[in-house]
Homo-oligomer: A and B are copies of this chain.
Amino acid sequence: MTATFAEATSSERVSLVDGVGHYDTSIRAGWDIGGNANGGYLLALAGRAMADTAGRPPLSLTAHYLKPGPAGPCTIDTETIRSGRRLATISATVRVADVPIMQLLGTFGDQTPGGPALVTGGPPALVPYAESAAPPAPDEGPLPEMMQRIALRLHPDDAGFRAGKPTGTAKMDGWFALADEEPIDAFALLLASDAFPPVVFNSGLPVAWVPTVELTVHIRGVPAPGPVAASFRSEYIEDGLFNEDGELWDSTGKLVAQCRQLALLPRG
């Protein structure tokens, strides 16, 4: 039986004293792309341990990626920088064999719906999830295992790169869901923030490996049940770097997360 996403991002709390936590866990197999764990998966793994230390869910979480994360044992050390009435700020280091692979800083706190509002953005026009086609298996074999654990449904207009015909526009819109209709919580939104193919794959530029330097996710709501609509884009791919900005909306059209990453574009 395949573990749920919640199970695959759980850690064992070894100690939590005066806001300083130590967690034993592992980077589970099957959440990688080409042998190294997906950045969104690692963010969710660390974010869940940090939320345990904070005693509340993530509100804004930033990760800097230091080294690739292979499947296997790792530790997460957390430190409470400040714990206030509404918000707690936590830093964390993820280590594999005592070597830091990821450093994080986040503020944790519950959502507070309501109040004054001015919303001018919204989700992209997408074919309903139930009518969207699953991605075809690549010629060379089955889908990567991670793509069997999540359900991505790209907008057909943005799927050109899959057939070797990038659209020329650095954009990826589509749906995100977990396998077996597992509910999407704040941690799954962290995963979703880095689960889509990089937008540069549609840029037409010669790219293969695009390591993330930094990823920040702001959680903006508790998702209603159902798949999440997503839109990712970049207007500035240059000088060996690109930003990738994304928004995620729940099935009611409510914004539930905003994310931005800075990634390297290695020279061809």
Chain A interface residues toward B at CB < 8 A: 59-60, 62, 64, 66-67, 81-82, 87, 89, 91, 93, 100, 103-107, 111-121, 169-170, 200, 203-207, 213-214, 216, 218, 220-221, 234-241, 243, 255, 258, 260, 262, 265, 267-268
Contacts and interface: CB of A to CB of B under 8 A. Distances in A.
- Minimum-distance CB pairs A-B, first 6: A121-B235, A117-B238, A116-B205, A105-B105, A60-B214, A118-B237
A237 B89 contact: no
10 contacts: A64-B81, A66-B82, A115-B238, A118-B234, A120-B169, A121-B236, A214-B218, A218-B262, A238-B255, A260-B260
Contacts of A117: 205, 237-239
A203 B111 CA distance: 22
B81 A239 contact: no
A230 B147 CA distance: 40
B204 A105 contact: no
Contact of A112 (B81, B218, B239): B239
Number of copies: 2
A60 B240 contact: no
Contacts of A114: 239-240
Interface centre among A89, A239, A241, A260 (most CB of B within 10 A): A239
A204 B59 CA distance: 25
A93 B91 CA distance: 11
B64 A118 contact: no
A37 to B, nearest CB: 18
B81 A105 contact: no
Contact of A116 (B89, B111, B236, B268): B268
B218 A107 contact: no
Given A115-B267, A117-B237, 20 more contacts: A59-B213, A62-B105, A81-B93, A91-B91, A104-B105, A111-B239, A115-B238, A115-B239, A115-B265, A116-B206, A116-B237, A116-B267, A119-B236, A119-B238, A120-B169, A121-B235, A216-B260, A218-B243, A218-B262, A220-B238
